[in-house]
């Protein structure tokens, strides 16, 4: 169970970081999106 909880916390952390990155990128900047993808 400990491993499952750690994996869940890791996934939540990654999701939060990904959301932060998306918020920092200007959605109108296509060059940034091309580099990100």
Full-model pTM: 0.51
pLDDT recorded at residue 8: 94
Give the range of the structural domain holding residue 25, as residue numbers without chain letter.
3-32
Instruction: Return the residue matching tokens 């959605």.
Output: 27
**Domains contained in the chain, number:** 1
Provide the 10 A C-beta neighbour count for residue 25.
13
In a domain, 23, yes or no: yes
In a domain, 13, yes or no: yes
3-state class (DSSP) for residue 36: helix
In a domain, 37, yes or no: no
CB 26 within 8 A of CB 34: no
Query: What's the pLDDT tens digit per position in 1-37?
Result: 678 999 999 999 999 998 888 777 666 666 655 665 5
**How far from chain centre, in Å, is Cα 11?**
9
């Amino acid at each position: 169970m400990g491993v499952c909880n750690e994996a869940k916390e890791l996934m939540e952390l990654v999701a939060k970081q990904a959301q932060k990155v998306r918020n920092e990128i200007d959605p109108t900047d296509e060059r940034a999106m091309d580099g990100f993808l």
